Amino acid sequence: MTHDVIALAQALIQRESVTPEDAGCQQMMNDRLKAVGFNIESLFFTDTLNTWARKGTQSPHFCFAGHTDVVPTGPAQNWQHPPFSGLVKDGMLHGRGAADMKGSLAAMLVATERFVAKNPDHKGSISFLITSDEEGPFINGTTRVIDTLEARGEKIDMCLVGEPSSRDVLGDVVKNGRRGSLTGFLKVKGIQGHVAYPHLAQNPIHLSSEAITELSQTVWDEGNEFFPATSFQVSNINGGTGAGNVIPGELEIQFNFRFSTEVTHEQLQARVNAILQKHKLNYELSWIVNGLPFITEHGPLVDATVSAIKSVTGLTTNLETTGGTSDGRFIAQTGAKVIELGPRNATIHKVDECVSTDDLIALADIYEQILENLLT
C-alpha cells in the first residue's frame, strides 16, 4: 500500500505545472486542507494563482510556505522516466518537482492532517502560503500575498519554507537565513572607431578594465557568524560589433553581489559608483534588488526544528545561509522568523530529478514534530 505522503506527491508531480502554471495542484491541496478546518483564499494576480489557507486566528501563527510550479523539463526523451510520471522505482520517486518542491508540499499537508487529527484543540494558528511563480519572475506570487496580508494587518510569526535544504542526508542542513542579492547593469560609453586609428576613438573595454579589476578585488565586508563575506561577480560582458577592425563605442556589463547583513544594498551601490567615478568613466548604471538578507537566530522556531530533526533522524543539523534566494526573503521582511527545510537538493532542476521515498515519509514526521513542539 502506497504511503499517503508518496501518493500525494505522485499526484502533484503528475500535474504539469511548469511556471507560472499551477495545473490544479493548489485545488487538490485546498480540498484536503478545507476538510481539516482551514479557511481557503485563492488569490490570483495577473498570471499567478496563489493560496492563503489558515486554521485558527490566534498566536503563535506558524506558516508552511511553498510553490507548486516547476522549471521546464527540457527534452523529455533525455529523462530515464517520463518527467511527469511520478514513478516510484527502487525506493526513489521520479519526476519534475519531486525534490523542488512537490515532495515537501505533500509532506507538509500530510503532517498537518495528522497533527490536527491528534490535536484538534491545538494552540495558535497554522497556515499555508502556496504560489505558482517561485521558479519564474517571482512578481505575482508570494510577494503579492504578503502585500495583501500586510495591508490587512495579518502577521506570520514563524514560517517554514519547504525548499530542498538537505545536502547529503535528510535534515543535515537547515537554512536559517539567506544572503541578499543585488544585480547591477553597467553601460560604459566610449567612442567607436577603426582599430588602426585608436587615437581617434575611446575603447570602453580598455577604459573599464582597471575599474572592473578594483571591483573584483574589493573587500566589501568580512561577513559574520552567520554569513560569509559579501561577494562580487561579473556574470555577463558584451561589447563590439562583431567586426575585428572596429573599436566598440559601448560596453555592457552585468554583475551581482551576494551580500551579508554587514552591508546594505544602498552602501554597495554608493561604493560601486565611487569606484567608477574614481576611474573617470562615462557610464550609466541601473540596479535590481533581488532580495535582502535575513537571519533567524536561535529561538522557538529554530529550536523546535533542530529538536524535531534529532528526534526523527538522530542527526544534529547544521544551520547555514548559503545558496541562492527563496521566497523566504519576502516573508522575512515582515518580521517573521523564517527557516527552510526540505529533502536533498542533489537533483533539483536536473534531468531525472528524484527523491527518496523514505526521506519524504521521514520529512512528514519531522514537520509533524515541529508542529507538536510549537503548538501543543
Neighbouring CB atoms inside 10 A of 337's CB total: 22
- Which residues are catalytically annotated? 69, 134
Q: Which of 203, 234, 204 has its CA nearest to residue 216?
A: 234
Helices (H), the chain: 4-13, 25-35, 103-118, 142-151, 204-217, 265-278, 300-313, 328-332, 357-375
pLDDT for res 253? 98
| Beta carbons of 357 and 284 less than 8 angstroms apart | no
Q: How many residues does the chain have?
A: 376
| pLDDT tens string 276-306 | 999 999 999 999 999 899 999 999 999 999 9
Q: How far apart are CA 370 and CA 4, in angstroms?
A: 19
Q: What is the pLDDT of residues 150-197, one digit of tens each?
A: 999 999 999 999 999 999 999 999 999 999 999 999 999 999 999 999
**pTM of the full structure:** 0.89
